[in-house]
Amino acid sequence: MSVRIPLNTTGPLVDATFIARTNQLLIDAQINGKPVRAHMADRGRLTDLLVPNARLLLAPRDEIGRKTAFQVVGVYQGDELVSLDTQMPNRLVSAALSSGALPQFARYTKVQREVTVGENRFDFRLGEGLNTCYLEVKSVGLVVRRVARFPDAPTERGRRQLEQLGMMARNGQRCAVLFIIQRHRALALVPNDEIDPGFGRALRGALASGVEVYAYLCPLTTDGIQLGPPVQVFGMLDSVPHDL
């Protein structure tokens, strides 16, 4: 079953030119030569994507109290549209769960969002009573030589989540991590040990503890983002076959 959600629900997207990144969450851009400022929901480094004069897609926003008139939706790398909205994967996974497009979770009829366990918050708790699964969703934007890598900036929160999921799995609780690769071209996913070795160790430990780990290729067009095919997850870059 194919699942697609729109990139924006508030109106047509607008082409813009990247000028500078003011801070983690703010972008300076130009629309037809006019300077604008836009909010960006992606804290990654994005140094391979946010290059001078990169073509951006912005969504107009006019909510009361908002400080910027635009939201950054995506950026083009060559002819490939890459998402810069780390909240989009959760919306896509929510739609996929509702439609039964993720067969490994199809038996759960109840879906709860934003569930706190101990000091960590997880994106979903599926099911109820003793038949539950905790599911954490991660947004992936970095792809190097057809291999997706996560994270592209150190994530202490991500490491802590994996460690707790591993502990819960060892105690018999079903737990899963779902990586949404918001790109067109990736054949596998690995933890990015060069950027965050702690996350890599935590992911390998979670796998060894019984945490289920999945990754899906989710290509974007201006019409939306689509849940695409699964790709294999490897614990280390050296484990990826050269002929993949």
- Alpha-carbon distance 81 to 93, whole Å? 19
Q: Is the peptide bond between 219 and the residue preceding it cis, with omega within 30 degrees of 0? A: no
Q: Are residues 10 and 51 in the same domain?
A: yes
Q: Token pair 């890459």 is at which residue?
A: 82
Residue-range definition of the domain harbouring residue 148: 88-239
Query: What was the pLDDT predicted at 23?
Result: 87
Cβ(72)–Cβ(25) below 8 Å: no
Beta bridge partners of 77: 80
Q: Within this chain, do residues 214 and 166 fall inside the same structural domain, yes or no? A: yes
Give the residue from 52, 83, 114 where a domain finishes.
83
Position 187 in a domain: yes
Domain stops at, among 35, 62, 83: 83
What is the predicted pLDDT for the residue at 64? 66
C-beta neighbour count of 2 within 10 angstroms: 9
Q: Are 30 and 144 part of one and the same domain?
A: no
- Look up the CATH number of the domain holding residue 31: 2.40.50.580
Rounded distance between C-alpha atoms, residue 72 and residue 222, angstroms? 13
What are the average pLDDT values for consecutive 10-residue runs of the chain, which has 244 residues? Answer: 83 92 90 92 84 93 78 92 91 95 94 93 93 96 93 94 97 97 92 96 97 96 93 87 72
Residue 224 lies in a domain: yes
Residues in Cβ contact with 172 at an 8 Å cutoff, skipping those fewer than 6 apart: none
In a domain, 43, yes or no: yes
Looking at residue 69, its pLDDT comes to 86
One domain for residues 42 and 128: no
Predicted model pTM: 0.92
Token pair of 146, please? 């057809």
* Same domain membership, residue 95 and residue 73: no
Characterize the bridge pairing of strands 147-150 and 142-144. Answer: antiparallel
Q: How many whole angstroms separate alpha carbon 167 and alpha carbon 189?
A: 23
Same domain, 59 and 132: no
Whether residue 244 lies inside any domain: the answer is no
95/79 same-domain check = no
Q: Are residues 133 and 179 in the same domain?
A: yes
CB 162 within 8 A of CB 206: yes
Same domain, 215 and 173: yes
Interhelix angle 197-209/156-170, nearest 10 degrees: 10
Opening angle at CA 209, ends 205 and 211, nearest 5: 95
What does the pLDDT read at residue 1?
Answer: 62
Q: Which of 83, 98, 116 is the last residue of a domain?
A: 83
